[in-house]
Structure 1
Amino acid sequence: MAILDQINDDIKAAMKAREKEKLEALRGIKKVMLEAQTAKGAGEGLADEDALKIISKLAKQGSDSANIYKEQGREDLYEQEMQQVAVFESYLPEKMSDEDLTATVKEVIEQVGATSMKDMGKVMGITSKKLAGKADGKDIADKVKALLS
């Protein structure tokens, strides 16, 4: 089942169960996905990889917003944002462990033949595509920097 279809089914279930916060998060995902589908140059439908990228981006934005709310002492908004992030993350694949991330980055470094920080762009490009949705871009960049230094 495509991710968009799954979200539509979950919206119906959340409406029936009267889960207001979950429904709001799901509608947010659907809105962004529909915008991506109808964007200029978009093909037929929305591929699951693109859907995962969208959901991952929404989860990152939500957690960044939640951190800002927490810094400003707005616990009510922090809790609301974190509930939405939890809904977003339920659709994402499980994050990679640090050991798996290190192994994958080392593998790409050997594959590309990278020897210094000058090669970081090459390594990041391949690694980011390979680990889309499985690891955060910042974590990948930190690992690449550590291994190339």
Structure 2
Amino acid sequence: MSLEQNINGAIKTAMLAKAEAELRALRAIKAAILLAKTSEGSTGELTEADELKLLQKLAKQRKDSLEIFTQQNRADLAKKEEEELAVIERYLPQQMDEAALRAELTAIIASVGAASPADMGKVMGAATKQLAGKADGKAISAMVKELLTK
């Protein structure tokens, strides 16, 4: 079952349950899917990788907005972003914990042969491909930097 079908079913359920926050997030996901499917150069269908990138983009937007609203003491807007982020994260794969991420990155660093912070680009290229959807890019970058400076 595709993401779009899952979202359509979840929208119906949220409408019946009158879950406003969930409905808002699901409609945002559906809108992003429709935009991606009808964008120029699109084949009209989304692959699983495209769906994953789309969800990650939406989650990142919510996290960035949440951070800004929290800094500006806008609890009302921050609460909405948190609610939407929680719904979006249900459709994303489980994120890796710090220990698993460290182990994966250590293996990637060894396989690439990186030894200093100057090799960060090589490691990041391999890591972002291998860990796509499993870990946040900021977390990967920070841990790679930490591991290479040791």
For the aligned pair, the TM-score class normalised by the smaller chain equals over 0.9
Partner of 1:27 in structure 2? Answer: 27
Partner of 2:50 in structure 1? Answer: 50
- Distance in 1 between the 2:148 and 2:71 partners? 34
Q: What is the Cα deviation at residue 43 of structure 1?
A: 2.9
2:7 paired with 1:17 = no
AA in 2 matched with 1:61: Q
- Distance in 1 between the 2:125 and 2:34 partners? 27
The sequence identity of aligned pairs, in percent, is: 47
- Distance in 1 between the 2:40 and 2:30 partners? 18
Gaps of 5+ in 1: none
TM-score by length of 1: 0.93
TM-score by length of 2: 0.92
Q: What is the Cα deviation at residue 44 of structure 1?
A: 4.5
- Distance in 2 between the 1:114 and 1:37 partners? 39
Partner of 1:84 in structure 2? Answer: 84
- Distance in 2 between the 1:126 and 1:100 partners? 16
Q: What is the Cα deviation at residue 41 of structure 1?
A: 2.2
Partner of 1:110 in structure 2? Answer: 110
Q: What is the Cα deviation at residue 103 of structure 1?
A: 0.8
Displacement over 6 Å in runs of 4+: none
- Distance in 1 between the 2:71 and 2:110 partners? 41
Q: What is the Cα deviation at residue 106 of structure 1?
A: 1.0
Q: What is the Cα deviation at residue 23 of structure 1?
A: 1.0
Gaps of 5+ in 2: none
AA in 2 matched with 1:111: S
> How many residue pairs were aligned?
149
Alpha-carbon deviations, 1:10-48, whole Å to 9, x = none? 111111222121111111111111111222222341112
2:137 paired with 1:141 = no
Alpha-carbon deviations, 1:107-143, whole Å to 9, x = none? 1111111122222111111111111111110110011
2:63 paired with 1:68 = no
RMSD: 1.3
Alpha-carbon deviations, 1:22-79, whole Å to 9, x = none? 1111111111111112222223411122112111121121122112112222111111
Partner of 1:5 in structure 2? Answer: 5
AA in 1 matched with 2:111: Q
- Distance in 2 between the 1:107 and 1:33 partners? 35
- Higher alpha-carbon deviation: 94-103 or 67-76: 67-76
AA in 2 matched with 1:49: A
AA in 2 matched with 1:85: L
